[in-house]
Amino acid sequence: MDTVHHIDALRAQLQVWRREGARIALTPTMGNLHAGHLRLVEAARRRADRVVASVFVNPLQFGPNEDFDRYPRTLDADADKLAGAGCDLLFAPSVAEMYPHGRDGFTVISVPRYADLLEGAFRPGHFDGVATVVNILLTLVAPDVALFGEKDYQQLLVIRQMARDLHMPVEIVGVPTEREADGLALSSRNQYLLPAERAQAAMLYAALQRVGEALRAGRRDYAALCATEIERLGNAGFRPQYLTVRRPDLSEPDAADREFRILLAAFLGKTRLIDNIGLITETV
């Protein structure tokens, strides 16, 4: 696997592969890779002849009081993991390479349908930053397929909507969430958790599961189900921001629905965690 830091070098390698008629996949990441990221690369390997991974901690998607400065940067270890997973090319640009004229007044991509919903309500501007950087990466690489994890489910919908609206000739694929043995969704931010917090963190997945079991049993009192679990999490020391039942497109469900996405976000100590599950129930 080769590593490039500059757009010219990225384009030069892609040009060679395109002349060969290769199908190209892209897996964008912010680095500090874990098994969930590597599943993206492995899934990309099955769908394409050549796999490009990017590692870029994008300042546009961090709010002023978020963890941009302390977000873990582990490029050498990331490169070793990507090579072992079958990646062909790592693109690891600097902020100056991606935004050479600075960020003030920079063109921003916004997806209004999802920008202010759930995650967007608690992280204003976050999805504009996500859509903008993914747009840049898709423009630079022009992949046939791009893969994203379902743990960031709303992000996946933002990217799919952007690709559709802008007529991008790319298939956007969601890859199921990788979890620890106790159910905690893998995340680069899990390492912020103190040992006692890590032992508690699996309660988030358990809460999602309980809501899912109630839906499978036929309950459709969505707000009451979520309120019960929010109270349980709050009593255990979490600071929940939301726990909600939605349709797969994140619109509000009604009593006749049978396909759902259950999503949550909560602080545990100083660490903000998100998770979600999807399910299809029997006809009500």
Render pLDDT for 246-268 as a digit per residue (tens, 0 to 9).
999 999 999 999 999 999 999 99
At 17 the pLDDT is 98
Distance CA 28, CA 30 (A): 7
Render pLDDT for 104-151 as a digit per residue (tens, 0 to 9).
889 999 999 999 999 999 999 999 999 999 999 999 999 999 999 999
Distance CA 85, CA 269 (A): 33
Whether residue 5 has pLDDT greater than 70: yes
H helix intervals, 166-235: 195-201, 203-216, 222-235
Average pLDDT over residues 10-15: 98
- Across the chain, mean pLDDT equals 96
Render pLDDT for 47-62 as a digit per residue (tens, 0 to 9).
999 999 999 999 999 9
CA angle 172, 57, 115 (to 5 degrees): 55
DSSP-based three-state secondary structure for 265: strand
pLDDT band at 38 (very low <50, low <70, confident <90, very high): very high
Whether residue 283 has pLDDT greater than 80: no
> Residues, the chain, total?
284
Average pLDDT over residues 61-90: 95
At 51 the pLDDT is 98
Distance CA 60, CA 133 (A): 8
At 284 the pLDDT is 52
pTM above 0.75, yes or no: yes
Render pLDDT for 197-208 as a digit per residue (tens, 0 to 9).
999 999 999 999
Render pLDDT for 143-188 as a digit per residue (tens, 0 to 9).
999 999 999 999 999 999 999 999 999 999 999 999 999 999 999 9
Residue 275: strand pairing partners = 264
> Does residue 175 contact residue 203 with C-beta atoms inside 8 Å?
no
Quick one: what percent of the chain has pLDDT higher than 90?
96
Query: Which domains, and CATH codes, for the chain?
Result: 2-175 (3.40.50.620), 188-280 (3.30.1300.10)
pLDDT band at 211 (very low <50, low <70, confident <90, very high): very high
**Active site amino acids:** 37
